[in-house]
Structure 1
Amino acid sequence: MRESPALVESRRFGTRTVPALRPLGWLAAGWHDFMRCPLPGLLHGLLLAVFGAALFWAARSQFWLLSGAFSGFLLVAPILATGLYAVSRALQRSGRADLAVALRAWRPRDGRLVVFGVLLAFAGTGWVMTSASLITSLAPTPVRNPQDFVRVVLLADQGYLFEIWLALGGLLAAPVFASSVVAIPLLLDREVGVLAAVFTSWRVVMDNPLPMALWAGLIMALTLLGMATLMLGLVVVVPWIAHASWHAYRDLVDTSGLAERP
C-alpha cells in the first residue's frame, strides 16, 4: 500500500526523545525569552486577556456556552501565539528581536499557517457547539452562571453529565494537542507541508508520552491559573507558554534536513 506523501515528507527529518521532566526546562527557557523581549509577549497576553474578559461578559448569563467557549479557546490558542514563536526564533538566531518581528509573522504570505489556523478554528467551534448542546440538553435545570454549573453539572447527585462533558472534551483536546504541539513552530521555521508537520507532531507525542503528558498538564494548569485571576494572569501566562513552546519544538524535532524559512 502506497504511503501518504505527507508521511513520507515527515520522515525526511527526525524526532528526539527527552527526559520526563524536560518541560520544566522549556518553561525556564521560555521565561528567559520573555524577559529578554517582553513587549511583544505583553501585548499578545493583554489582547488575549481582553478577549477572555469580553467573552465572559458576553456569555455571563449563559454559562453553558461560556464553558465550551473557554475550552474551545484553548484549542485555537497555539496559532494565536505565532508572533511569539517568531520572537524566540529571532532571539535564538541573532540574539535580537522586537515587536516588528512578531508583527511580520502575521503577514498573510504563508497559506500553510492560514490553513492550520482554519482547522484549529473548526475544532474549537465544533467543541463549543458540542459542549453547549450537551449541557443544554442533559442538564436537569438551566445553567446560566458558574454557580449553576457547579451545582447542576459538577456536583449533581444523579447522572454523569460532568464526566461525559469532561470525557468528550478530552477526546477532542487530545488529538488537537497531539497535532499542534510542535506543528505551528515547525511551519513557521521550515519549509514543510501542513500534513507533514501534523504527522511530525504525532511522532513527537508517541515518542515522548510522559514529557508530553506533563507538558499538557503544565499548559492547562498555567492557563487555568491565568483565567482564575480575572484574566490578568494571562498577560504573563500566554507569552510564557508561547516562548516555552518554541523551545519544546527545538528540543523535540531535528530539522537539520529541512530548508529554513526566511
Structure 2
Amino acid sequence: MLNPPPPANNPAFSSARDIVRTVDAGQPLRWLVRAWHDVTRCGWISVLHGVAIALAGALMLWVAHDRFWFLAGAFSGFLLVGPVLVTSLYALSRGLERGEKAGFSKVLETWLNWKHGRIQPWGEAQWQLVRFGVLLALGGTVWVLISAALITWLAPVPITSPLVFVEQVVLAKEGWLFEAWLVLGGSLVAPIFASTVITIPFLLDRQVGIGQAIAASWRVVLGNPVPMAFWGAILMVLTFVGFATALTGLVLLVPLLGHASWHAYRDLLDASALPERE
C-alpha cells in the first residue's frame, strides 16, 4: 500500500514543491496491473509502440549479425534509452487519467506537436525531451563502445554467438572479464536508472527543468531503495525476455512497461503543486 505523503519538514520535500512518496516493495507489481488495464483501453495504439521497437530491435540484430560483442552492449544500451522511446505511452496514460480519448492523435501530438490538423512549432517541452534523449543516447553509445572494447580485446577467442559468450566469458574458469564487464555496466546503468526512473513522465506532466526532474528522480530512488531495486530488476528481466523470444515478446512488454512507468511516477512523486504541462 502507498504510505501518506511526508510532511513539509521531511527531507523528501523540496523547494521545487514536489513531494517524494514512499511505497512498499510490492508496489511495482501493482504498476504492471494498472499498466495492463491501460494497454487494454488503448488497444492497438499501445501495441503499435511494441511493434515499432521490436522492428528496431530486429534491425539491431541484423546490424550485429555475428558480432555478439555489439549485441551485448546494445542490449544494455536499449535499457538506457528505453524511457525516451515510450514517451507517448506516458502521454496516453496521462490522457486516460484526465478522461481524454486514447487516440492516435495523442501519439502525433507527443512526437510532432500535432495540433489542429498540422505540425506546430516545437516548444520548450519538446526540446527538453530531445535534449534528455540525446544525453541518454550518448550514455548508451559510451557503454556499447566500452562493452565492445572489453569483449573484443580481452576475450580469449572471438565472441561470435551467445553460446560462445556464455562459455568463454560468463563461465570462464580463469580471468576476470565477466566480472569487469558487470562492474562497468552496473557503474553506468545504476546512475542512469536513478536519473531516469521518473524524469521523462515528470517533464511531460509538469513545467519543470531537466535538472529539477533528474534531482526528483534521484530522491525517488534514494527514498525507495528496495522498491526501486525490484522495479529495476523487473525492467531488466522483462526486457531480456523480450529479446530472448526473438523480439516477439517486446510487442506486449514494451507497452506494458511504458504504461507501468507512468504509474510509477504518479505513485512516487506528488507534483500537484507544480503547473501542468499542456
Divergent runs of 4+, >2 A:
8-12
Letter in 2 for 1:195: G
2:157 — aligned with what?
A: 141
Q: Tell me what 1:157 maps to.
A: 173
* Aligned-pair identity (%): 54
The range that moved more, 58-67 or 206-215, is 58-67
Equivalent of 1:196 in 204, 212, 232 = 212
Higher share of residues assigned helix: 1
Identify the residue that residue 233 of structure 1 maps to in structure 2: 249
State the alpha-carbon separation in 1 of the partners of residues 155 and 249 from structure 2. 31
Corresponding residue for 1:261? 277
Residue number among 39, 43, 48 corresponding to 2:48 in the alignment: 43
- Which residue, 241, 263, 277 being the options, matches 1:247? 263
Conserved 8 A contact 1:10-1:196: no
Q: Give the letter for the 1:96 counterpart.
A: K
| 2: CA distance, partners of 1:242 / 1:138 | 36
Q: How does 1:71-90 map to 2 (within 5 A)?
A: 71-90=76-95
- Cα deviations by residue, 1:81-115 (Å, 9 ceiling, x for unpaired): 00100000000001521111022111243211011
Gaps of 5+ in 2: 1-12, 113-121
- State how 1:35-184 maps to structure 2 within 5 Å: 35-107=40-112, 108-109=122-123, 110-184=126-200
User: Secondary structure, in 3 states, of the residue corresponding to 1:94?
Assistant: coil
TM-score normalised to the size of structure 1? Answer: 0.94
Partner residue of 1:186 out of 190, 202, 207: 202
Instruction: Note the aligned Cα RMSD (angstroms).
Output: 1.3
CA distance in 1 between counterparts of 2:194 and 2:44 reads 30
Are 1:19 and 2:43 an aligned pair? Answer: no
Q: Distance in 2 between matches of 1:183 and 1:204?
A: 10
Amino acid at match of 1:24: L
Is the Cα–Cα contact under 8 Å of residues 9 and 196 in structure 1 kept in the other structure?
no
Alpha-carbon offset, residue 69 of structure 1: 1.1
Displacement after TM superposition at 1:10 (Å) = 6.1
Decide whether aligned partners of structure 1 residues 229 and 10 sit closer, same or farther in structure 2, where only a CA change above 3 A counts. Answer: farther
CA distance in 2 between partners of 1:94 and 1:136 (Å) = 52
**Does the CA contact (< 8 Å) of 1:10 and 1:200 recur in 2?**
no
| TM-score, normalisation: structure 2 | 0.89
CA drift at 1:9? 7.4
Q: Distance in 1 between matches of 2:24 and 2:170?
A: 35
Aligned to 1:3: none
CA shift for structure 1 position 191: 0.1
**Residues 9/209 of structure 1: CA separation in 2 closer, same or farther (3 Å cut):** closer
**Residue 30 of structure 1, aligned match among 35, 53, 57:** 35
Opposite residue 11 of structure 1, the aligned amino acid is A
| In 2: Cα distance, 1:240 partner to 1:55 partner | 22
Between 91-100 and 23-32, the greater mean CA deviation after superposition:
91-100
Q: Match of 1:213?
A: 229
- CA 1:10–1:126: 2 relative to 1, 3 Å: farther
How far off its partner does 1:255 sit?
A: 0.7
